[in-house]
Amino acid sequence: MPSACADEVIAARNLTISASVSRIRFLAVDDVLFQAA
DSSP line for 5-17: HHHHHHHHHHHHH
pLDDT digits (tens, 9 = 90+) for 1-37: 567 788 999 999 999 999 999 999 999 999 988 888 7
pTM of the entire structure? 0.57
**CA of residue 11 relative to chain centroid, distance:** 12
Instruction: Give the separation between CA 16 and CA 8, rounded to whole angstroms.
Output: 12
Nearest one of 7, 11, 29 to 19, comparing CA atoms = 11
Instruction: Give the separation between CA 24 and CA 1, rounded to whole angstroms.
Output: 35
